[in-house]
């Protein structure tokens, strides 16, 4: 039997799901490059060690992406603290989305609205929309009840709708 690691099925799966994982990673990282690194690290770990585990592969990967991003964030915080003590400046933060030329204004409005949400609501929105997780999976991921996940999602959608509608009316 051919070694599963030589199988091309991972390429197809990653082409379909990689962009979603990248969007999830992006909300927990400071830059697009960091998000790409986190997704790559999480996917390699998943493919080598976790792909045969029971459960939804996307949920397993989102968990791995989140852990990798949080680990990177902790490392980055320690590094920044050391640099600040040494007199170095803050790194520049990249945009959350890559906007096409015609959609740049809308992408900026959505990104801005997302960043103004409380962290708990933004995290649920990203996991639900881009991670395509159920409220049960989100609850497990975040250590909250499914009802709390659903409530945070609902409140975030209301806030986003209100803010984006207001921006459309004034812009």
pLDDT tens sequence across 1-42: 233 334 567 788 888 888 889 888 888 888 889 999 999 988
Residue bearing tokens 């770990």: 45
Decide which of 3.40.50.2300, 1.10.10.10, 2.30.110.10, 1.10.3720.10 is the CATH code for 101-171: 1.10.10.10
Q: Give 141's contacts (C-beta < 8 A, 6+ positions apart).
A: 59, 62, 63, 66, 127, 133
Please tell me the distance from the alpha carbon of residue 31 to that of residue 92, in angstroms, as a whole number: 8
Q: Percentage helix, strand, coil, to 5, in the chain?
A: 75, 0, 25
The percent of residues above 70 in pLDDT, for the chain, comes to: 78
pLDDT-derived band of residue 156, with 50, 70 and 90 as boundaries?
A: very high
Helix (H, G, I), strand (E, B) or coil at 53: coil
Rounded to 5 degrees, what are φ and ψ at 56?
-75, 120
| 82-105 mean pLDDT | 54
Mean pLDDT of the region 65-70: 88
User: What are φ and ψ of residue 139, in 5° steps?
Assistant: -60, -45
Least confident of 4-13, 26-35, 48-57, 138-147: 4-13
Most confident of 11-20, 82-91, 116-125: 116-125
Sign of CA dihedral 80, 82, 83, 87: positive
Instruction: Supply the pLDDT for residue 87.
Output: 56
Distances in whole angstroms, Cα of residue 47 to Cα of each of 36, 38, 50: 16, 14, 6
The pLDDT of 117-142, averaged and rounded, is: 89
Domain boundaries, the chain: 9-92, 101-171
Fold type of domain 9-92 = Rna Polymerase Sigma Factor; Chain: A (1.10.1740)
Q: Per-residue pLDDT averaged across 144-164, rounded?
A: 91
| 29 CB-near residues (< 8 Å, 6+ apart) | 35, 38, 69, 72, 73
Residue 113 to residue 162: CA distance in whole angstroms: 10
């Amino acid at each position: 039997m051919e070694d599963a690691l030589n199988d091309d099925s991972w390429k197809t799966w990653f082409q379909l799901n990689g962009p979603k994982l990248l969007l999830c990673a992006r909300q927990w990282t400071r830059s697009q490059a960091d998000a790409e690194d986190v997704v790559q690290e999480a996917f390699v770990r998943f493919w080598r060690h976790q792909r045969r585990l029971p459960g939804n592969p996307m949920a397993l990967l989102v968990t791995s992406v989140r852990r990798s991003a949080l680990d990177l964030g902790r490392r980055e915080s320690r590094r920044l603290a050391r640099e600040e003590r040494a007199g170095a400046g803050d790194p520049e933060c990249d945009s959350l989305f890559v906007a096409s030329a015609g959609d740049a204004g809308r992408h900026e409005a959505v990104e801005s609205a997302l960043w103004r949400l409380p962290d708990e609501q933004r995290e649920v929105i990203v996991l639900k929309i881009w991670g395509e997780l159920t409220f049960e999976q989100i609850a497990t991921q975040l250590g909250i009840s499914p009802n709390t996940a659903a409530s945070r999602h609902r409140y975030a959608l209301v806030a986003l709708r209100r803010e984006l509608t207001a921006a459309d009316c004034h812009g």
